[in-house]
Each structure stands twice: as structure tokens, then as C-alpha cells.
Structure 1
């Protein structure tokens, strides 16, 4: 059985700790005449290539299906998570199952819903799994050929992966930074940096974006008119006592009990509601504010925080904050 549309019938994505099982699956598929992407089958081909770009192309465009071997090890790896994001970009593009999850354990993987059907590997030998993969390919081959010509005319530009790496002044990766890309039409994409400092975004429409970055231990960072065609690296620096947060419609500020909700009263006037929080010693709400000018908030516990709005568009706000110091 060969695929005329793709270089590979199936690509295997797994953590190295699970290689023994996966290699048996790969060998079994290979013996059945199924074209499988398995890294050890491709050593000569991978030699010298930019693996970041090449593997993105494999998992996003060159395989009919990807089998995702889920385990606790998989969730901890940089490369496997890069592969996963590439798969998900493809899954967004097509209205059919593309990612076939199989589980060594119950680890949760970002973007893979618990309701998606999976195969329990504790109940399947590698040979049995290879048989199931072969059946899946055989079942869908005729249907896929009939449907693809129609489907391809409905798809616009292919989605692609845009990544932002966030490091601090000591060149250490910053994890758990909130990153939001805001387009000129106020649509947005949200992400959070992982253990390696990377935040990944699936770009489906080519636009310029304002990049917002916030973290409770770092001041806010903003870049305007960013073209996502190339990945970027951002260095953020700590300032003692300062943090930042991105508010989507409404949200909390660390150190305060209650929520705030910025609004746009008119083209030129911004205002702020605060729930169970006094603004500027109890001023009337909504309280008019300006970008880049500090205002003080106090909650019902006497905690005082100074806020400075750096950006507000649509319902997305980027906010710096610092705790009031008593002298």
C-alpha cells in the first residue's frame, strides 16, 4: 500500500524512553510496505539538516497520519512538543482526524482532548498496534482520494508555526510568561512559554501583530508590527518590585483581592471598573485613565498596588504593577 499524496503514510512521534516499543511498531509497519517516518530509518537523510525546520515540515505536511505516543516522558521533551505543535497546525487545516493518539499512561498533553479516541498500549503489543494502523490506512485510502480534491479547494494558505523564545538578562529561559499576539483588527492569539522559554503559535492568516509579554516577576514588554514569518527571541529584565499581567476583558492583579475591567468609553477615553477595589482613594467608577500613567488601587485588605496600562486594544490590556511601599 502506497500513498500518492504524501511522502509518508504515517509519522511516529515519541519520547526516546519509549523507543523499544516504537521501534517494533516501525519495523512491523515497514515489513507491511507502509512508508513510515521513524528517525532511525532516516539517519542519513537527517544528517546536517536544520532539524527544527525539517521536522516541522514532516509532521505538518509530509505524512498522511501521525501516531502520537503519549507518556510522561513525551510531555517533558522539547523536540516532541515541537513535533506536537506542528501536528496541531495540520489538524487545524483539515476537517478529519490526523493525529492518532496512543497512550502508555494517562499523561495530559496540551491540545489533545480527553474525549479524543485513543489506543491503550497496555492492552496492545507493537504488532497489534501496527495492524490497527494498517487497517486505518486501508479504510481511509479510497475515501481520502475522493475527498481531497474538493477539500483542497476550500483551504487557504497553509498554517505555520511561529515561536517566541523568552530569556532573562542572564540568558536563562523564562517559563510561564503570558504571550498574546494582537492583530490590527483586534483578533488575538494567546500562549504561555514552556520550560524552554518557548511560546508557540499556529498562524493561519498572514498579519502584522503587536506582541505582548507579561510575567509576575518581570515588567511588561511590547513590540509592534511584528511579522511572524521568522521566529524571534526576546530578552526581559527584572526590576525589583515590578510585575506585569495581561487582562482579557477582566481579570485579577497579583497582590489584590478582586477583579478589574478596563473599557473604552470612546475613541479617546479609556476607563476602569474595579470589583471590591477602590481606585485612587475611592474615585467614581468607571475611572478614566491614560496609557503610561500610574493609578493606585486598594482592596478590602488594605493592599495597595500601582497600575500602569501599557496597551489596550479590543478587550486586551497589558498592565505593569508594583506594590505600594510604606516609608
Structure 2
């Protein structure tokens, strides 16, 4: 299907026992700007759907390629074989390769001929494999055409308005949610939702943005690769005992005295400075940390908070914070 604008460049099909490896591949592809279908990236979207029908649609119609991670575990699973059947239906209809086999071992998979070219994952790191996938995509002319089409829609010399609406599960407006749009080049726009839950942004050059939303009574929300050509509505859930905040360069976290300052070190590690605040019981600062992993901080009054950095780019950080350590 020439020039089809697929929702995903790559869909990943694998057995749960191989998740650790596949998740690293998915994250590496994501950082390379590849649109990847990986189940844990889609938890909210999958919630409540008829998975049998929805996954059939993904693997048969909505991805440019599917990577099939072959292992002894894969052959034993009901869902993976359902995914495989959907891929093979698509492959039968097209005159080009669609299923890209990658082997953890020599397990035979029904319908996957031994003569089909495959990639061995033995002694190959997830990042190395992700690089091979990226190279495969760049050899696909329809993939390159879709990228050029996307770029052409992101250039608009006339300013226009982009609106984010924030509501709760009862469709009630959320006031005073902080919203920051972070472009891929780390420039940003920021604002707050009004009484109607609306925040308006004047966009002068179309770029893809990561949309960050924080509120004192809710966990943070993050959406990547948002094209501002269409307004969006975001539903956030109230979370008892949990809050979120967006910091620019540095700032104070409610409930604890002192300031914190996340930084990007020369080796690309993320680290934290804290003014009159102990990190992880008094570890040396700057303290290296990872995104999405909780760290504890304590001020000179014995107040303790647990912070989870959800996003950090340029000088913008999205942080969830809790009085009790999250499970």
C-alpha cells in the first residue's frame, strides 16, 4: 500500500518471558523517533478494549512492519500465536516483506519458513538491534515519504492557537493545572488551565511537542510527539496522597524546605543537587538518578518526600511526589 500513513512504523510481537530485552529495544526505538507499538506504551489505550479484535487490527493493518521475536516461549503462548496469525494474513496480501523475524533461539514457528531472512539476537544488544530496525526503515521509500509528509505539515509561517483541555473523570474542568509544551529542541511554552480547564498556546512554528501536565492533587501526565495542529483533551485521575509539579531549572517541592535542582551531566547521566536537603539518606551530591524510579529526600525538619522524575529535558522536569513511598 504505497504512501499509506501507518500509525506505527514497527509493532513488536514477543513472549512475556523475553520482555526485558524487548522493552530495551522499544525504548531505544522511541528515542530514535520511530513510532513503535509496544504494549506497555499503550496501557491507557488498551484499557477496556476488546483485545482480540484490537490487536488483530494493529498487527494486520496499522503497522509498517512487525518484528517477531522468536523463542521457545513464543510458540507456547495463545496471544502471540493470535498476533502471528494476524501478521501472516497481512503478509499474504502484500508483495513485500512485512514480518521481520528475530531469533533468540532456533524454535520453529508455524508459517515462518526457514528460508526467510532473520536476525540472530545472540550476542546482540537491544540498542544494536534497534539500530538495525532503524536502518531497515530508512531503506523503505514509503517510510521516507511519510516522514517528509510529516515534516511538511510541521512548517507553518502563520501563528495559530493550540488548546489543551484538562478534565477529571466526571468531565469536570480542572483549574490551575500547569501545562508545558517541550519541543524536540528543548525549547518550551508554558501556561495554566483556567476555570474551564483550558490552556491556550500561540504556536509560531509547528513542531512535535511533549505535553507535560502537573497538578497538586494528581499524578503528572505526559504525552510525547503531539502535533499541535489539533487541540487535545486530557482526562486526569485524582490520586490521594500523590501530587505532581513541573520545575524550570530548579524549585521548591511543597511539603519540604529547601530547593532542588536536576542537572544533565557531561556523561548524559541525570543528577540532583538539593539545597539543605538530604538525598537518599545523605548520599553524595550531585546524586545520579533514573527516570521513573523513586528517590527519597529529607529536609532539616525531618520532613520526607519520595520523588519520581517522569521527564527531564533541557531544564524542564516533571516530578511526581508522595509522602508515603509508592509501591
TM-score, normalised by the number of residues in structure 1:
0.51
After superposition, where does 1:68-217 map in structure 2 within 5 Å?
157-217=157-217
Q: Which residue in 2 is equivalent to 1:278?
A: 278
Cα distance in 2 for partners of 1:305, 1:318 equals 15
Shift of residue 267, structure 1, vs aligned partner? 4.8
Is 1:315 equivalent to 2:315 in the alignment?
Answer: yes
Cα distance in 2 for partners of 1:168, 1:266 equals 40
Cα distance in 2 for partners of 1:172, 1:254 equals 25
Q: Which residue in 1 is equivalent to 2:287?
A: 287
Q: Which residue in 2 is equivalent to 1:266?
A: 266
Gaps of 5+ in 2: 1-155
Q: Which residue in 1 is equivalent to 2:251?
A: 251
Q: Which residue in 2 is equivalent to 1:235?
A: 235
- Runs of 4+ aligned residues of structure 1 deviating over 2 Å after TM superposition are none
Cα distance in 1 for partners of 2:182, 2:249 equals 14
Deviations 1:24-81 (A, max 9, x none): xxxxxxxxxxxxxxxxxxxxxxxxxxxxxxxxxxxxxxxxxxxxxxxxxxxxxxxxxx
Corresponding residue SS for 1:306: strand
Report the structure number with the largest CA radius of gyration: 1
Cα distance in 2 for partners of 1:300, 1:193 equals 34
After superposition, where does 1:4-43 map in structure 2 within 5 Å?
none
Shift of residue 268, structure 1, vs aligned partner? 3.4
Q: Which residue in 2 is equivalent to 1:324?
A: 324
Cα distance in 1 for partners of 2:324, 2:214 equals 20
Corresponding residue SS for 2:201: strand
Cα distance in 1 for partners of 2:266, 2:320 equals 23
Shift of residue 301, structure 1, vs aligned partner? 1.3
Corresponding residue SS for 1:234: strand
Cα distance in 2 for partners of 1:290, 1:220 equals 17
Cα distance in 1 for partners of 2:210, 2:160 equals 18
Deviations 1:113-149 (A, max 9, x none): xxxxxxxxxxxxxxxxxxxxxxxxxxxxxxxxxxxxx
Cα distance in 2 for partners of 1:169, 1:283 equals 40
Q: 1:267 to 1:207 in 2, by over 3 A?
A: farther
Deviations 1:244-299 (A, max 9, x none): 00010001111111110000013531000001111011111100000000000011
Cα distance in 2 for partners of 1:190, 1:231 equals 16
Corresponding residue SS for 1:157: coil
Q: Which residue in 2 is equivalent to 1:73?
A: none
TM-score, normalised by the number of residues in structure 2:
0.51
CA RMSD of aligned residues (A): 1.1
Cα distance in 1 for partners of 2:215, 2:301 equals 24
Corresponding residue SS for 2:252: coil
Q: Which residue in 1 is equivalent to 2:221?
A: 221
Cα distance in 2 for partners of 1:229, 1:158 equals 12
Shift of residue 238, structure 1, vs aligned partner? 1.2
Is 1:296 equivalent to 2:296 in the alignment?
Answer: yes
Cα distance in 1 for partners of 2:267, 2:176 equals 33
Shift of residue 302, structure 1, vs aligned partner? 0.9
Cα distance in 2 for partners of 1:211, 1:266 equals 26
Corresponding residue SS for 1:321: strand
Cα distance in 2 for partners of 1:324, 1:235 equals 25
Cα distance in 2 for partners of 1:197, 1:256 equals 28
